[in-house]
Chains A and B, each alone.
Chain A
Amino acid sequence: MTSADGQRNGPGAVAITALAGAVLVFLIAPVAIIVMVSLSGADYLSFPPPHLSLRWYQRFLGTPSWRQAIWVSTQVAGLTMLFATALGLLTSLALVRGRFRAKGAIYALLLSPMIVPTIITAIALYFFFVRLKATGSIVAMALGHTVLALPVVIIIMAATLQGFDIRLEHAALSLGASRLTALRRITLPLVLPGLLSAALFAFLTSFDELLIPLFLSGVEVQTLTVRIWNSLVLEVDPTIAAVSSFLIGVTTVVLGASALLRGRGDTTTT
């Protein structure tokens, strides 16, 4: 125990900081390396790339099936965003403001799609939609993703609404505004940053997800993730590095936008 001398920068503190730094490198390196590798002009995946080029991006965006996949993913994610945000807003209003029994149990039920392994949800929905002869449909995939995105929206919106001062709405009501007007003119503008951020995360949840479309998509209607899966099972094609970087880019945009929105939300609610 002699090493524990109670000093600020003892060897233990240095070691733990170094370890944490190494873990941070471990977390970011694969993402960073894929982006760099995707810019390589070489025929194989080498790091660092011998020379830079956009050839894999040309291959990605120049292939009709990849472009088609981007479009399918965008449609599925867009619909998911609409469904999940609308449902999630109503639900979180009820959860934050309503007073009723079994609230805890209802909340747990609403969040449970986050916990149930997605493979189970995916096959359950597959069996369900096969019977309705609705596999291969974009709406079916979006409905499946709505189940997964709903908890995300609820968590973000519940936190946003908890930070909202309900007296502002009461003031509008006491000044003669109808309930709908108060909601539309006072509450919604103030919680809008949180709502937009929730919508973005709902979009991302769907855009990134593989398992639901893996079971529900048809031969012609494939999302980006399913298309990646199908090519990975065969071989490690460098085009996937460009596709992956594209997805990493989408994630970065969503995180950045939501950080900006959050910053703005903070200044209006406090």
Chain B
Amino acid sequence: MKETVEGREARRYLSALAPALVVLAALFVYPLLGIVHRSVYKGGYTLDLYRQIFRVPVYLQVLLATFKVSALVTLVCLVLGYPLAYVLATRRPRTAQLLMIIVVLPFFTSIIVRTYAWMVLLGRNGIVNQYLMMLGLTSTPMALLYNQAGVIIGMSYVLLPYMVLTVYSVMRGIDPGLVRAAHSLGASRLQAFRRVFLPLSLPGIAGGTLLVFILSLGFFITPALMGGPGDVMIAMLIEREVEITLNWSFASALAVVLLALTLLGFAGYNRLLRLDRVFEGRG
């Protein structure tokens, strides 16, 4: 008797799932399948477009540039994000919560607003150049915008909170007693960090690195606004093929390549961490 009641209960909840699944199937899965189809079908099934992506040097260059920029951005985020996450995780929760506001406010600010802020700062007559010249550090304005440096600064800024939140969520779970135990056994601060804390925070480093890298690969707004003519990333190429060249099939093939890379990376991420945990830890 009890079994059937529970069985009915479980089914009732299953039907509560239906509306969201229907919406997602119609507005997400089906359109994505449409892209996959468009990328391989032109009067008949063919893989020509994919061959084109991997044979034509221009497209290969875009792919390589995308990987390069993503790797650099990930590195910057790790170098800046790890120490901040460490300091936040080792402070009292109340202090950490207050400081976390500074991480979370930009995190939830529109990407286009954050990108615009850096355009104002880094432009030829921008605020950074005004100060550099005022301080006599440079006599002519430095080129900080519309080149790769600008793209990397802007993207690192936008993605840094992801790194901080991921690493922080792992560090929060590390028992401080373990570090204290290392101290009491005679380990120095540095030793305790290197031998105990750092290894335990590795899932955070791996997860944060992977997350920032995946998100970088598909980035559009920041590189499109802050990059120069030579800083085309794959997402920008996709937009161009849709809006300017009007080659929707080729855009679809590029999108499928990007999607495959993203899902591959995410499968790895999923083995390390749970995405929802990271977002729950946000302020």
Residues of A participating in the B interface, judged by any CB pair closer than 8 Å: 1, 3-7, 10, 12-13, 16-17, 19-20, 23-24, 26-28, 30-31, 33-34, 37, 44-47, 83, 86-88, 90-91, 93-95, 97-100, 106, 108-121, 123-128, 143-144, 146-147, 150, 152, 155, 158-159, 204, 207-211, 215, 225, 228-229, 232-233, 236, 240-241, 244, 247-248, 251-252, 254-255, 259
Among A120, A150, A233, chain B packs the most CB atoms within 10 A around the CB of A120
A197 to chain B, nearest CB (A): 11
Count B interface residues, CB 8 Å.
90
Interface-facing stretch out of B30-38, B41-49, B135-143, B200-208:
B30-38
Contacts of A233 in B (CB 8 A): 225
Decide yes or no whether B121 CB sits under 8 A from chain A: yes
Residues of B participating in the A interface, judged by any CB pair closer than 8 Å: 6, 9-10, 12-14, 16-17, 19-21, 23-24, 27-32, 34-35, 38, 80-81, 83-84, 86-88, 99, 101-106, 108-114, 116-121, 123, 125-127, 130, 157, 160-161, 183, 187-191, 214-215, 217-221, 225, 235, 238-239, 242, 248, 251-252, 255, 258-259, 262-263, 266, 270, 275-276, 279-280, 283
Cross-chain contact A109 with B32 (CB below 8 angstroms): no
Cross-chain contact B20 with A120 (CB below 8 angstroms): no
Q: How far is the CA of A231 from the CA of B35 in the complex (A)?
A: 30
Contact partner, A17, options B87, B187, B266, Cβ 8 Å: B87
Given A7-B189, A27-B102, A215-B242, residue A115 in contact with residue B35 (CB < 8 A): no
A201 to chain B, nearest CB (A): 8
Main secondary structure of the interface of A (DSSP, over half): helix
Cross-chain contact A146 with B23 (CB below 8 angstroms): yes
Contacts of B24 in A (CB 8 A): 109-110, 113, 147, 150
Cross-chain contact A225 with B248 (CB below 8 angstroms): no
Among A10, A26, A115, A128, chain B packs the most CB atoms within 10 A around the CB of A115
Given A6-B183, A87-B19, residue A31 in contact with residue B109 (CB < 8 A): yes
Cross-chain contact B220 with A91 (CB below 8 angstroms): no
Q: How far is the CA of A19 from the CA of B188 in the complex (A)?
A: 21
The 7 closest A-B pairs by CB, nearest first: A117-B218, A98-B13, A4-B190, A208-B110, A124-B31, A20-B87, A30-B117
Given A117-B258, A123-B35, A127-B38, residue A1 in contact with residue B190 (CB < 8 A): yes
Contacts of B255 in A (CB 8 A): 119-120, 123-124
Cross-chain contact B34 with A124 (CB below 8 angstroms): yes
Contact partner, B80, options A10, A26, A211, Cβ 8 Å: A26
Contact partner, B225, options A3, A19, A34, A232, Cβ 8 Å: A232
A129 to chain B, nearest CB (A): 9
Using A88-B20, A120-B35, A208-B109 as known contacts, list a sample of 11 further A-B pairs with CB atoms less than 8 Å apart, ordered by residue number in A: A4-B188, A93-B16, A94-B17, A95-B17, A98-B9, A99-B10, A113-B24, A128-B30, A232-B116, A247-B113, A254-B108
Q: How far is the CA of A240 from the CA of B114 in the complex (A)?
A: 12
Given A4-B189, A24-B84, A119-B218, residue A33 in contact with residue B13 (CB < 8 A): no
Contacts of B258 in A (CB 8 A): 117, 119-120
Cross-chain contact B32 with A120 (CB below 8 angstroms): yes
